Amino acid sequence: MEMAERTAMAEAPPASGVYSAERLRLDFPALAQRVGGAPLVYLDNAATTQKPDVVIDAVARAYRDGIANVNRGAHTLAARASAAYESARYRAQRLIGAERAEEVIFTSGCTAAINLAAYAWGDEQVGAGDEIIATALEHHSNLLPWQRLCERRGARLQVIPLSREGEIDLERLSATLSARTRLVAVTHVSNVTGGESPLGEISALCQRVGACLLVDGAQAVARLPVDVRALECDFYAFSGHKAYGPSGVGVLYARRERLRQMAPFLTGGGMVEQVQAERSTYASAPARFEAGTPNLEGAIGLDRALEYLAAIGLDTVRAHDRALTRHARAALERVPGVRLVGAPARPIGVVSFVFGDVHAHDVSTILDQAGVAVRAGHHCASLALQHFGVEATLRASFAVYNTPADVDALVTALGKVREVFG
């Protein structure tokens, strides 16, 4: 199919009430290729998603039409750049239901967003004897920053263990929370089990003791509707590249009350009011936390990606992902030698499994030869894998363009693994 035809299809949102993953996959040029002589079946979306033509074209257009730094000049290109950058901020605000645009801070990704919270808020608000709580489900990006914060500030990190199914133990969390708890860090959707965390209950527990709540939304924002005000969280972080946008751009939502408690972390151009030889004053949020030249082209691509998701409808995406996840879990359970890892009550978008005694990397290599791309490893979530007693798993994860036929291709390819290893 010609590029112009694909782009025209991508520009038109799906018909109201009609969802077709087969039609949407035409918007993603990377999916047209063959790997190992077979059509590519891309099931590594929890790591990063492929990009639709509209995102690719938006980034290319930014370069073709002339690029400029944001909030730095009065000429036409600078004004255009600033408007495009702020458009992306408003788009992200609407996506997550933030009350104010200034509560949306652009970062280089979810990792940078969580680290920003740990330094800019944590170093100001956490002291000796205080406690931070995380869970054993957390990605390293939502664990290591809190370890380092506790080391710097003389605080204590407590990690809540999981239930047998791999769910967050709410009773244990409730018992661990205390007046010394300053923050609870939790994933919205696990990148290992695909389990959706009960954020409503967790938020209520945090409020009971006056603790802040930070949510890692990396696996959630492209799968289900998010409303940070309804969740009553203090921080929410996500990456653009897992939501059909470019790499190198992400968001930290910080509630206005928390912004007032945060000190500048990175300092430099664009985040100051006045500079004197011995002392400077800093701009208000979000500029206060966006020092230096921003990733304008990343923000432009993210704006278009979030618009693309909104045109589909995140309620629709959630229904698609849940149905496909149920289909995958049922299909994989019927494959001899396969054992699913985790049994969450509300799985969405992610299925992890092991294949007998065969190492996950070996299985992944054979699957790749059949054109099926999955993730193999510990998924930067070592504590979760330790809980399940495994060193590595295979992980299939889904996107708007995946279909039951993709799952069936995975199952067929696993048959080839069985032929090789018996």
Residue type, 242: K
pLDDT higher for 11 or 340?
A: 340
pLDDT at 4: 37
390/385 Cα distance (integer angstroms): 5
* pLDDT of the residue at 421: 87
Residues 6+ apart with CB under 8 A from 127: 153, 154, 155
- Cα separation, 47 vs 44, in Å, equals 6
User: In Å, what is the CA distance from 116 to each residue of 40, 65, 128, 284?
Assistant: 37, 33, 20, 16
Q: What is the CATH number of the domain that holds 393?
A: 3.90.1150.10
5 has pLDDT over 90: no
Same domain, 145 and 269: yes
Taking alpha carbons only, the member of 372, 366, 331 closest to residue 351 is 331
Among the three residues 285, 310, 335, which one is the final residue of a domain in this structure?
310
* Distance (Å) of CA 58 to CA 5, 55, 296: 16, 5, 11
* pLDDT tens, position by position, 139-167: 999 999 999 999 999 999 999 999 999 99
Q: Are residues 120 and 245 in the same domain?
A: yes
Six-digit token string for 152? 């710097």
What is the rounded distance in angstroms from the CA atom of residue 322 to the CA atom of residue 313?
14
pTM over 0.75: yes
Last residue of a domain, one of 294, 310, 326: 310
Q: Which of 288, 313, 295 is nearest to 84 (CA)?
A: 295
Give the pLDDT confidence score for residue 75 in this predicted structure: 94
Residues 288 and 148 in one domain: yes
- CATH code: domain of residue 68: 3.40.640.10
Q: Same domain, yes or no, for 279 and 376?
A: no
Nearest to 289 by CA among 99, 103, 96, 92: 103
Same domain flag for 238 and 187: yes
**Does the structure show a pLDDT above 80 at 14?**
no
pLDDT at 113: 98
**234 and 99 in one domain?**
yes
Q: Kindly report the average pLDDT of the chain as a whole number.
A: 94
- Reported as a single tens digit per residue, the pLDDT across 74-83 is 899 999 999 9
294 and 371, same domain (yes or no): no
Residues 65 and 194 in one domain: yes
- What the block records as the tokens of 416 is 């080839």
Last residue of a domain, one of 280, 310, 340: 310
SS3 content of the chain, % helix, strand, coil (to 5): 45, 20, 35
What pLDDT was estimated at residue 18? 67
Catalytic residue among 110, 150, 233, 380: 380
34 and 121 in a common domain: no
Average pLDDT over residues 392-411: 98
Per-residue pLDDT, 19: 85
**Helix (H), strand (E), coil (C) string for 56-98:** HHHHHHHHHCCCCCCCCCCCHHHHHHHHHHHHHHHHHHHHHCC
Assess whether 121 and 246 both reside in one domain. Answer: yes
pLDDT at 16: 43
Range of the domain at 284: 59-310
Provide the domain count of the chain: 2
Asked if residue 301 and residue 336 are part of one domain, the reply reads no
| Phi, psi (deg, nearest 5) at residue 152 | -70, -40
Is 212 labeled as catalytic in the residue annotation?
no
* pLDDT tens digits, 294-342: 999 999 999 999 999 999 999 999 999 999 999 999 999 999 999 999 9
Same domain, 109 and 246: yes
